[in-house]
Amino acid sequence: MSSNEEMVLIKDGKRLDGRDFDELRDVKMEVSVLERAVGSAYMEWGKNKVMAAVYGPRELHPKFLQDPTKALLRCTYNLAPFSVEERKRPGPDRRSVEISKVTTEALSSVVMLEKFPNTVIDVFIEILQADAGTRCVGLTAASLALADAGIPMRDLVAACSAGKIQGEIVVDLMKEEDNYGECDLPLAIIPRKGEVVLLQMDGKLTKDEFKKAYELAFKGAMKVYEMQKNTLLGSMKRFVGEGGNDDGN
């Protein structure tokens, strides 16, 4: 489709994939999916497929980068060459450097870095298939992988986006909506405190539209938080179940 052609994103009050304005795409999450990482998570969110893996804490080299008061958290977001329609040139670009930075900053506010002085905690986020909202999926998966690694955290970080398409405020934009819509607003929160750790905006909104989009993204992130907790609880139960067979626990 040429760029000046209008793309119909809403028909009879429903979105292209049949969703309501306040409806998330299907979300699936799983932890402990990689044997050699300290912690890991795999997520599918709509057509997005994302893997997150944690290594560390381990001693940081070169030594002059070490901080005797806390660990260094280092998140690396990577969009695989085969994750998008046209092959993406491998390696970091401005966009992935930016997403790595905002992800690191968002997670640094929950991980108890002060418990691991002079070390580095590496979090790798691999986008295997991309369909918009990947920074939200990556952040949500990274937070799960850190918890799976047993790294002490004050809370999880949960993320979700909202935006504007054909004049309507909707939650969780998919690729077509992101491409042809008017605005995308990714949000990440620390749910227990209700604190915002990431808020970006690509496009324009009025004050009222912003308020509505913010509220939708916030509600979406809270739903994601419930799923994260259930996933981690399920994984712990499995672990306890496996270990507790002898005494009937």
Per rule CB under 6 A, is residue 219 in the interface with ligand ADP? no
Least Å distance, CB 85 to ligand ADP, is 6
Q: Which amino acid is at 11?
A: K
Q: Closest CB to ligand ADP among 113 and 164? A: 164
Q: Which of 74, 175, 219, 223 binds ligand ADP (CB under 6 A)?
A: 175
Identify the residue whose tokens are 């401005």. Answer: 94
Q: Are 194 and 158 in contact (CB under 8 A)?
A: no
Q: Which of 7, 80, 84, 201 binds ligand ADP (CB under 6 A)?
A: 84
Q: CA-to-CA distance for 135 and 147, rounded, in angstroms?
A: 18
Identify any residues that bridge with 49 across adjacent strands, giving them in sequence order. 44, 129
Which x/- pattern, by CB under 6 A, does the window 125-144 give for ligand ADP?
-----xxxxxx---------
Question: What token pair was written down for 243?
Answer: 């270990």
Least Å distance, CB 9 to ligand ADP, is 15
Buried b (16+ CB within 10 A) or exposed e, 19-35: bebeebbebebbbbbbe
Q: Closest CB to ligand ADP among 57 and 88? A: 88
Per rule CB under 6 A, is residue 178 in the interface with ligand ADP? yes
Per rule CB under 6 A, is residue 100 in the interface with ligand ADP? no
Q: Closest CB to ligand ADP among 71 and 79? A: 79
Q: Give me the sheet containing 119-129, strands edge to edge.
A: 27-31, 39-45, 48-59, 119-129, 72-79
Per rule CB under 6 A, is residue 95 in the interface with ligand ADP? yes
User: What interhelical angle do 134-148 and 94-108 show, nearest 10?
Assistant: 40
Per rule CB under 6 A, is residue 25 in the interface with ligand ADP? no
Residues that bind ligand ADP (CB under 6 A): 79, 84, 86, 88, 95, 130-135, 175, 178, 184, 186
